[in-house]
Every structure is written in C-alpha cells, then in structure tokens.
Amino acid sequence: MAETLQAAAPEALPEVIIETRNLSRVYPGVTALDQVNYRVYRNKVNVLIGENGAGKSTMMKMLAGVETPSSGDILLDGEPVTLGSTHQAEKQGISIIFQELNLFPNMNVMDNIFIGNEFFQRGVINEKYQYALAKSLLERLELHVDPLAPLGELGIGHQQLVEIARALSKDTRVLIMDEPTSALSQSEVKVLFNVIAQLKRRGVTIIYISHRLEELMEIGDHITIFRDGRFISEREVRDASIPWIIEQMVGDKKKHFDYSPAAQGEVVLEVDGLTALHQNGGYRLNDVSFALRKGEVIGIYGLLGAGRTELFKGLIGLMACQQGSVTLNGERLDKRNFQQRLKRGISLVPEDRQAEGVVQLMSITANMTLTDLSLRGFRRALRLLRPKKEQQRVSEMIDHLAIKVSDSDLPITSLSGGNQQKVVLGKALMTGPQVVLLDEPTRGIDVGAKTDVYHLIGSLARQGLAVMFSSSELDEVMALADRILVMADGRITADLSRRDATREKLIVASTPHD
C-alpha cells in the first residue's frame, strides 16, 4: 500500500507585536536614529545590541513615550500609535526599566513601586493593599526587604530590583529592560532570569538590552543589531554566534586589546588597616591594607556589597573611616578630606555616573572642567579661566578619549551613556592625578567603548600613574590587572598576582563566609 506523502508546512514566523517604519530621531547636530525598521516579536525575549551611540536607548525611549520621533511610524498590533508620554505608552501596555535608576532615595520602597500608579479606595491611597502587593512583588524577585524601608539605604543592585518590581506592578504587555543586570550580582541575575521566564509564560513580551554577550545568548530568543543609528541585521539567537554578533556590531571598526604590563616604580599609595563601620552595625570596610605602585594596575573583584565602592570612597575621602590610614608618596592624608586628596593627586570615577559623575543641566565642556576649576578655588578660577585655553584642553581630551560629540557646548544629556562615561573619565584626568580610581568603569558600555577604556587604563599605567579599578566581570579583571584584590564582607580575602589568578580562586575568595 502506497504511503501518501505530504509536504511539511513551513514553520510560522513569530507574530510581530511592535514594528517601526522609517523611524528617525534627530537632535541638534546628531542623528540618533536614521530611518530604522525594527520588529519586536510577541512573547519572546527580543535582544537589542549595539555599541554605545548605536541608537538602542533612543529607540527604547520612543517606544516608552519618553521621546517622540522626528519622522516615521510606530505600529502596535499592526496599527499606528502615538506614544507622546510614558503614561500613553503604559496605557498601551508598554513599560520600561531604564539603564539609569529612576527612583526616589528619600522615599520608601513601597512608595517608589507605586508612585504615579497608586491604588485608591474612596479617594484615599489603600496603603494596606499596596504593602501586601509590594511584599509579594519583592518576594518574587527574592528581595527580602521591608516595603517600608527607605530606598536610599539599599545598595544599587537592590534598588535595580525595586525598579523591576515597579514595572511588574503595572498591567504590562511589553517590558523594556535597558541594561537590567549591570548592577546585579550573579545570584540576582539568576533571579531576574527566572522572573523573565515567568513573564514569558504569562504572555509578556520582553525587549532586553545588554552588552554581556554570553548573557544575551543564554536568555534571548531573537536578536537585533544596531550600528551608528541604523538597523543592521536580525536573527534568531539559536542561529547566531558571538563572533557574528561582534562583526555585525563593529563592522570595519573592530578593535582588539592586547595586555602589555607597564614598568612599575616605587610605592605611591599605602593603605593600612582602613576600617569603616556601618551605621546599622557591622563593617563597610574591615581592616583593609595594601600598597599600590606607580605604573601598576590593581583590579578589585567582589560580589555586590563586598565593599569595592566603599573602599574607593574611603580612599578619596568621601566616606568616614574610623580606623586606619591612607598615605600618598610617604605623606599621611587627613581623614575624610576630599579636597586635600584631589589636590594631592587622587581622582575617582564613580560607579553611578548619573548621580555622582555628571551635572545634567550643564554642557559637556562644563562637566569636564568642573573638578579642575573647583580645585583652584572659585575666585582664583575666575581670574585664571581662559575660555580658549579651557576649550583647547577639552577638545584634546575629547580626541584622546574618542568621545562621539559634534559640539562640546551641547548638554551632557545629548550623549549616549558610554560617551557620558568618557566625559566623567576626562573630568578625572583633567586634575592631573597620580592615582586613578575607577569604580566599574565599563558598566553599561558596549564592546567598542570597553576596548577604549581598556587601552586608556594601559596608557595611564605606561605614563607612570597608579591605577585601581573595580569590576564584577571576572574576565575583565583577569585581562587588565597586574594584581587582583578580592573583597568579601568589606575585607580583602585574596591578593593574587596576574599569573597566579584563576577564575576558581577568585570565585572562592569572593564568596562570603560566616
């Protein structure tokens, strides 16, 4: 008996929930998006990747109603829509979690979750219901904090989870996540991935932006690549590879970093028994001691809350330390004297560039020269300030750091996140430091911009500067550092040379022990 053969039906493509057609966004002197046709597939994790300045965040801001297109259309479920505000976008079921935290540290966790989206009963906010819902949302994220706890007392990683809880509190069909794991520990990343899997099962579409390629390959269903404000390509993640992704991202601008250790000189910075107590008990820093030489690059590795940021703030004089000393070139520095330490040659690039690195109402030039001018004293700065000279120095720094900007008098907010980070780096270098402290300098930066930072660190060391940087990425620490200090619970738990460091040793040393 002959068998009847039937041709297999072709697999249906995933349904498109959001589509843009010839979407453009033009700022004065800058085209952030250039006639982009972009598709978001329903009930998928839609990964969007590209170098800083590629247009990813600009696209997300338009989909979330933060900004409006200069031209082109946005279609939702096949119908054109106008998303003139975040409120309009949320009414359509589109919510966003921004790369930079959009929270209120002076308010409690619960109020941050429901601000602008409160539950009223007879004209009064139903705080009992909000408390129960907030507690449930936080438990889903495995964040064990009281909803009434002040947000400002939480670390940046925990604040990121609160931001996610706020998005989950709304009736969301499409959830945009812009660098959601940049400040999270490995355990918190696993929690987030579990939450994303739950959301997919509930029919929520995810747009996910990250620069961690392995992360994208693990969680993504569909990948889209932007470059220089244009759509480049899209592909299902199962059909993509990391080399293909990098090639599409950078095109002909491929950059490579080859480690080349600098010659090391005498000790420039000595830290002895530095100890800082937490206001709620316990240690922020616990008997930290080390020495740093000219031309040396020390990497600080540790999990969230290990004390990396606290160490840098203690060294620069922004955090009170009850015990211990900091000595620069053989001279002991005064406790908690930020201005003195800047003048003596210690500079800091902070982890949170929006809160601590830039003044958003000021121009690129003003931001870059701000610290240098403050060191001279206001009146003396007015006497010595020469606009042409200052502009020349800024232009040289822009060229040196490869900052993408058409006019340095534009607002700092006109730059992408990565280029803003480079401005903060430039501001630190303007002071002529001997010791440069970089707290997570590549957080939220794309592959190409990361390479620029790597080259800068090597260049500073070869110039004889002493460099310390913190990172939560193992490969980054192992690739850049001459020496690695591992921290856990405010203590240094390992001090390893480059040749002796292994991933296993670093992971074991970074795990807190009772």
CATH number of the domain encompassing residue 477: 3.40.50.300
> Domains in the chain: how many in total?
3
In a domain, 258, yes or no: no
Alpha-carbon distance of 75 to 97, in angstroms, equals: 21
Torsional class of 104: left (φ above 0), alpha (ψ -120 to 50), beta (otherwise)? beta
Tell me which H or E stretch contains 178: strand 174-178
Q: Above 60 in pLDDT, residue 383?
A: no
Q: How confident is the model at residue 378 (pLDDT cuts 50, 70, 90)?
A: very low
Q: Are residues 76 and 200 in the same domain?
A: yes
Q: Above 60 in pLDDT, residue 113?
A: yes
Q: Above 80 in pLDDT, residue 152?
A: yes
Q: Are residues 325 and 393 in the same domain?
A: no
- Mean pLDDT on 11-21: 79
- What value does the mean pLDDT of the chain take? 84
What Cα–Cα distance (Å) separates residue 361 from each residue in 43, 119, 364, 399? 39, 34, 10, 23
Q: Which of 398, 431, 464 is the last residue of a domain?
A: 431
Q: How many CB atoms lie within 10 A of CB 138?
A: 22
Q: Are residues 150 and 166 in the same domain?
A: yes
In a domain, 6, yes or no: no
Q: Are residues 309 and 373 in the same domain?
A: no
| Among the ranges given (135-139, 319-323, 384-388, 502-506), the one the predictor scored with the smallest mean pLDDT | 384-388
In a domain, 65, yes or no: yes
Q: How many CB atoms lie within 10 A of CB 90?
A: 20
Alpha-carbon distance of 384 to 398, in angstroms, equals: 22
In a domain, 256, yes or no: no
Q: Above 50 in pLDDT, residue 202?
A: yes
- Mean pLDDT on 85-96: 91
Predicted confidence at residue 81, as pLDDT, reads 95
Q: How confident is the model at residue 2 (pLDDT cuts 50, 70, 90)?
A: very low
| Among the ranges given (10-14, 65-69, 397-401), the one the predictor scored with the smallest mean pLDDT | 10-14
Predicted confidence at residue 513, as pLDDT, reads 56
Q: How confident is the model at residue 281 (pLDDT cuts 50, 70, 90)?
A: low
The share of the chain scoring above pLDDT 70, in percent, equals 89
Axis crossing angle, helix 447-462 with helix 417-430, rounded to the nearest 10:
10
Predicted confidence at residue 259, as pLDDT, reads 65
Predicted confidence at residue 80, as pLDDT, reads 94
Higher pLDDT, 287 or 303: 287
Q: Are residues 117 and 200 in the same domain?
A: yes
Q: How confident is the model at residue 7 (pLDDT cuts 50, 70, 90)?
A: very low
Higher pLDDT, 76 or 389: 76
Q: Which of 226, 250, 274 is the last residue of a domain?
A: 250
Helix (H, G, I), strand (E, B) or coil at 97: strand
Q: Are residues 480 and 453 in the same domain?
A: yes
Range of the domain at 132: 16-250
| Among the ranges given (282-296, 305-319, 397-411), the one the predictor scored with the smallest mean pLDDT | 397-411
| Among the ranges given (12-21, 253-262, 456-465), the one the predictor scored with the smallest mean pLDDT | 253-262
**For 170-187, how does the pLDDT look when each residue is reduced to its tens digit (9 = 90+)?**
878 999 998 887 667 677
Q: Are residues 312 and 374 in the same domain?
A: no
Torsion angles phi and psi, residue 473, rounded to 5: -100, 115
In a domain, 458, yes or no: yes
**Which has the closest alpha carbon to 221: 443, 486, 15, 466?**
15
Predicted confidence at residue 147, as pLDDT, reads 94
- Mean pLDDT on 220-224: 95
What Cα–Cα distance (Å) separates residue 5 from each residue in 12, 123, 128? 21, 67, 64
| Among the ranges given (162-176, 235-249, 254-268, 366-380), the one the predictor scored with the smallest mean pLDDT | 366-380
Q: Are residues 444 and 425 in the same domain?
A: no
Radius of gyration of the chain (CA): 24
Predicted confidence at residue 377, as pLDDT, reads 45
Q: Are residues 68 and 159 in the same domain?
A: yes
In a domain, 4, yes or no: no
Q: Are 412 and 398 in contact (CB under 8 A)?
A: no
Q: Which of 223, 250, 277 is the last residue of a domain?
A: 250
What Cα–Cα distance (Å) separates residue 490 from each residue in 259, 318, 372, 437? 29, 16, 31, 17
Q: Are residues 364 and 335 in the same domain?
A: no
Q: Above 60 in pLDDT, residue 53?
A: yes
HSE toward the beta carbon, residue 484, CA cutoff 13 A: 28
Q: Are residues 423 and 442 in the same domain?
A: no
Predicted confidence at residue 251, as pLDDT, reads 73
**Which range in 32-41, 250-259, 389-398, 474-483 is most confidently predicted, on average pLDDT?**
32-41
In a domain, 8, yes or no: no
Predicted confidence at residue 395, as pLDDT, reads 85
In a domain, 10, yes or no: no
Predicted confidence at residue 213, as pLDDT, reads 79
Q: Are residues 48 and 82 in the same domain?
A: yes
Q: How many CB atoms lie within 10 A of CB 146?
A: 13
| Among the ranges given (163-172, 196-205, 442-451), the one the predictor scored with the smallest mean pLDDT | 442-451
Alpha-carbon distance of 195 to 190, in angstroms, equals: 9
Predicted confidence at residue 379, as pLDDT, reads 40
**For 432-477, how does the pLDDT look when each residue is reduced to its tens digit (9 = 90+)?**
899 999 999 887 676 677 788 888 899 899 999 999 999 877 778 8
Q: How confident is the model at residue 278 (pLDDT cuts 50, 70, 90)?
A: confident
Predicted confidence at residue 13, as pLDDT, reads 47
**Which has the closest alpha carbon to 145: 319, 157, 205, 408?**
157
Q: How confident is the model at residue 367 (pLDDT cuts 50, 70, 90)?
A: confident
Residue 30, beta-bridge partner list: 27
